[in-house]
Structure 1
Amino acid sequence: MSSALAHLNDLGDFIAASPSSFHAAAEGARRLSASGFQRQDETEAWDSSPGKHFLVRDGALIAWRIPLGAGPTTGFRIVGSHTDSPTFKLKPRPSIGSYGWQQIGVEVYGGPLLNSWLDRELGLAGRLVLADRTTRLVRTGPIMRIPQLAIHLDRGVNDEGLKLDKQQHTAPVWSVGRPDRDVLDHLAQLVGVDAKDVLGYDVVAFDTSAPAVFGPGDEFFASGRLDNLSSVHASLQALERASEGEHIEVVAAFDHEEIGSASRSGASGPVLADVLGRIASALGAGPDELHRGLARSYCLSADAGHAVHPNYPGRHDPANLPLLNGGPLLKINANQRYATDAVGAAVWRRACDTVGVAYQEFVSNNDLPCGSTIGPLTATRLGITTVDVGIPLLSMHSAREMAGTADPLALSLAIRAFFSGD
């Protein structure tokens, strides 16, 4: 338990430093640099020397380690995850309001549980692109809140259910009686520039509550963005600590998974194929050697999954009921919404057995549609055998999700064994 809690404390620090995908990529880069990884500039010639490397593309982070003796047909061991989470994104002309209130115009990003964002102290975080062509990361403290209507003014809410209009009911309040306040001015001041110097921005809301361990025996962990910073953190820890194997080990933390991954830094985009191709080319590979290397490769798609909910057991498959602290999930879907097949499942089982990690299987109830991950996208783009895994959660896509304290470390240990495996 002490090792699991130490891992959780570090995960909590990682999440606290990563309120947006851009902050997550920057924090991962900072940690990798401290562990001896060298930053690769995409505009420069590719470094093929044995050792540890990484690059950042917008809100995505790709890191890799080239072993001694690597050549044109060396295979890859890849762990994919994502840096974004469902939230609200700042709209153009975001300073709005009425009836004496100052509010912030936001657009729903992904599929958040809207009600979970009510009555929380929220901040804003992301990147500002400035007139001098630089980019600055920015984050506020708790500056806004989406207040719920009092029950006295909505008497049927507990019987009829809460109904939120995404346009009318989700604009946070951040000031009152101060029509002179402008949110872009506030963000610009935080990075020491004038608002007129901000030419573009990608800024999202985040819950400012700190991650917390709770339960009578410290069984549980609550935090925002566990989906999917739990996997990003686990894979980075594993890459830093894995023994060098015969493969090129890769961590690919993509952006934009929650909105379909179709971007230059998403799993449907070119970033991973670009990196793998340039690594292989720098090692002397032509097209044939690259494909031979990919045919020797495997990918873990590490993304959070669902634990059985004790209040809604009918929403789960009756024979497969994962629990928090029962171990990470092997995610399976007959329609390939998860990429797991028998070959990938065997790779995952060998990795878990190597380090004595128990795992659980997850499959959806037939009456409910299955979500998806970057796994099928990676398998489709690259033709690599891919298996979907991740820690179980309750309250997925809530502003504050819930995990077991033992599962994040177990996932990291299994990933470490996957990196080092034959």
Structure 2
Amino acid sequence: MGVTTKTSAAEIAAAEELVSFIQKSPSMFHSVKTIRCYLDEAGFTYLPEAGAWDVRAGGSYYTCRNNSTVIAWKVGERVAEEGSSYHFQLTASHADSPAFKLKNVAEMEGPEAYLRLDTEAYGGMIDYTWFDKPLSLAGRVLVREGSRIESRLVSLDRDVAIIPSLAIHFDRAVNDRFSPNRATDLCPIMSAGDCTVGTVDALVAERLGIEPENIVARDLFLVNRQRGCVWGAASEFVSSPKLDDLACAFTSLKAFLASDNQRDVSVYCCFDNEEVGSNTKQGAMSTVLADTLARVNAALGHTSDELCQAVAKSMLVSCDNAHAVHPNQEGKCDAVNRCRLNGGLVVKEAANQKYCTDAFSRAVLQAVCADAGVPLQTFANRSDMAGGSTLGNLSNTQVSVHAVDVGLPQLAMHSSYETGGARDVTLAIEALTAFYNADLLIDGADAVTLG
């Protein structure tokens, strides 16, 4: 029996656009820059947090915090109408991914003539996937010019380091067990003798066209530059660094831009620091979303009490990828609450409330997607295995709304190179567009009307 290609040209194009999106986003700072380019091209107005905000019905706007979190919103034309059921419909994803971050004193000399990098883990990556891969550096640096210190994005865009494995001849049992020490085994080499301390700043300065002594601080990360691709005999797969969670950042952005809901304030959130707990000034547990909604509400001429009413009638879709059934480890998944690649967006639920999904929010999203003819899948962890957490409940500590946790199914989460389903990119965009377009009239936790 020959190959039957089910992935359409349009679905392949959407997956390839995701790959391009990720390629432009080697750090969380670059992710936000890439998102801002999409928003600028769509005609959105940038409102800096430190400036006054003029927000009007029919307008489209965005703001940023720390250049690593972005929140965008579209105000429906009918929001200003008397008697309108004013509320927010939101999605939230995150811009960061597990990686290794350079320490302030970033270089170590020796042994012999080697020059190595001193790094620490950012988030919970699969360490062994970082070995023997050419690596680059990307992030932001703070540059001083006279009395002014300003932030600059930098991506070396070439490979400058590698973390070498130990030869099997020195560790015959390496295939029996492998538990590298992050302080000793995971130090990348930059040079075998031609470079000295100061090379990192020299490379960054050359890239930025400045003098090395002008660099006063850095947030730099190791980057796997292996380009993502759509692959498979039937073009079923998409693989890339940072699918978790840039796949959700991308698909929710595309849905947000494609949607048209004139009765609500549609909101797109992409937070930083989910992989390290979200409890930063720009994370989901910060005030950034609450501050933004409060300022939008005030700029539209509403009172603080009306904001509370609007929030009570609002809903969030928290978007962070899900674990697909592994082809070689099926037993790691729940017997029936499991998902597969190319089966569509996944609703995630946990009794311990690590996910924000409950019966109410699940019912709303299921009804919206059913009406749109878009498939949904379900995921829950095996009852004897602890799962991770994500954005929904954390953001709800600041802005409490009905919320459901979803994600694209994927394999090898937190590897330096992850795999998902090519068709799931389009299916996720369709599901999230349906959510943004739905006119949700929420009555507490008693009922919701789908307009």
Q: What is the TM-score with the length of structure 1 in the denominator?
A: 0.97
How many angstroms does 1:24 deviate by?
Answer: 0.3
* Secondary structure class of the residue paired with 2:357: coil
The equivalent of 2:41 in structure 1 is 34
Contact kept, 8 Å, 2:94 with 2:272, in 1: the verdict is yes
Aligned pairs for 1:262-341 within 5 A: 262-341=279-358
The equivalent of 1:92 in structure 2 is 104
How many angstroms does 1:116 deviate by?
Answer: 0.6
Q: 1:60 is matched with which residue: 69, 76, 92?
A: 69
How many angstroms does 1:133 deviate by?
Answer: 2.0
Contact kept, 8 Å, 2:392 with 2:403, in 1: the verdict is yes
How many angstroms does 1:192 deviate by?
Answer: 1.1
Contact kept, 8 Å, 1:73 with 1:285, in 2: the verdict is no
* Secondary structure class of the residue paired with 2:374: coil
Detail structure 1 runs of 4+ shifted over 4 Å in the superposition: none
Instruction: Say if 2:176 is the partner of 1:176.
Output: no
Aligned pairs for 1:248-263 within 5 A: 248-263=265-280
Q: 2:87 is matched with which residue: 72, 75, 86?
A: 75
Contact kept, 8 Å, 1:73 with 1:292, in 2: the verdict is no
What amino acid does structure 2 have at the position aligned with 1:88? F
How many angstroms does 1:73 deviate by?
Answer: 6.7
* Secondary structure class of the residue paired with 2:63: strand
Instruction: Say if 2:416 is the partner of 1:408.
Output: no
User: Deviation string for 1:234-289 (max 9, x for gaps)?
Assistant: 11111111123311011100000000001111001111111111000111222211
User: Deviation string for 1:366-412 (max 9, x for gaps)?
Assistant: 11111100111122321100100010110000000000011111111
Q: Distance in 2 between matches of 1:392 and 1:206?
A: 23
What amino acid does structure 1 have at the position aligned with 2:65? R
Q: Distance in 1 between matches of 2:251 and 2:132?
A: 31
How many angstroms does 1:357 deviate by?
Answer: 1.6
Contact kept, 8 Å, 2:85 with 2:263, in 1: the verdict is no
Between 282-291 and 16-25, the greater mean CA deviation after superposition: 282-291
What amino acid does structure 2 have at the position aligned with 1:316? C
**Number of residue pairs aligned between Structure 1 and Structure 2:** 421
How many angstroms does 1:304 deviate by?
Answer: 0.3
* Secondary structure class of the residue paired with 1:264: coil
Instruction: Say if 2:133 is the partner of 1:120.
Output: yes
User: Deviation string for 1:272-330 (max 9, x for gaps)?
Assistant: 11111100011122221110000110000000010011211221111123110111100
Contact kept, 8 Å, 2:104 with 2:218, in 1: the verdict is no
Q: Distance in 2 between matches of 1:61 and 1:179?
A: 38
Q: Distance in 1 between matches of 2:260 and 2:394?
A: 28
Contact kept, 8 Å, 2:161 with 2:190, in 1: the verdict is yes
Contact kept, 8 Å, 2:412 with 2:418, in 1: the verdict is yes
The equivalent of 1:129 in structure 2 is 142
Contact kept, 8 Å, 1:256 with 1:266, in 2: the verdict is yes
Q: 2:59 is matched with which residue: 51, 63, 66?
A: 51
Instruction: Say if 2:244 is the partner of 1:231.
Output: no
* Secondary structure class of the residue paired with 1:133: strand
Q: Distance in 2 between matches of 1:359 and 1:192?
A: 49
Q: Distance in 1 between matches of 2:368 and 2:223?
A: 35
The equivalent of 2:3 in structure 1 is none
* Secondary structure class of the residue paired with 1:183: helix
Q: Distance in 1 between matches of 2:10 and 2:375?
A: 16
Contact kept, 8 Å, 1:391 with 1:411, in 2: the verdict is yes
Contact kept, 8 Å, 2:109 with 2:116, in 1: the verdict is yes
Q: What is the TM-score with the length of structure 2 in the denominator?
A: 0.91
1:143/1:179 CA distance change after superposition, 3 Å = closer
How many angstroms does 1:21 deviate by?
Answer: 0.3
* Secondary structure class of the residue paired with 1:106: strand
The equivalent of 2:29 in structure 1 is 22
Q: Distance in 1 between matches of 2:54 and 2:17?
A: 30
Contact kept, 8 Å, 2:116 with 2:188, in 1: the verdict is yes
Q: Distance in 2 between matches of 1:69 and 1:352?
A: 24
The equivalent of 2:231 in structure 1 is 214
Q: Distance in 2 between matches of 1:231 and 1:97?
A: 40
Q: Distance in 2 between matches of 1:394 and 1:278?
A: 40
Q: 1:354 is matched with which residue: 367, 371, 382?
A: 371
How many angstroms does 1:351 deviate by?
Answer: 2.6
Between 46-55 and 29-38, the greater mean CA deviation after superposition: 46-55
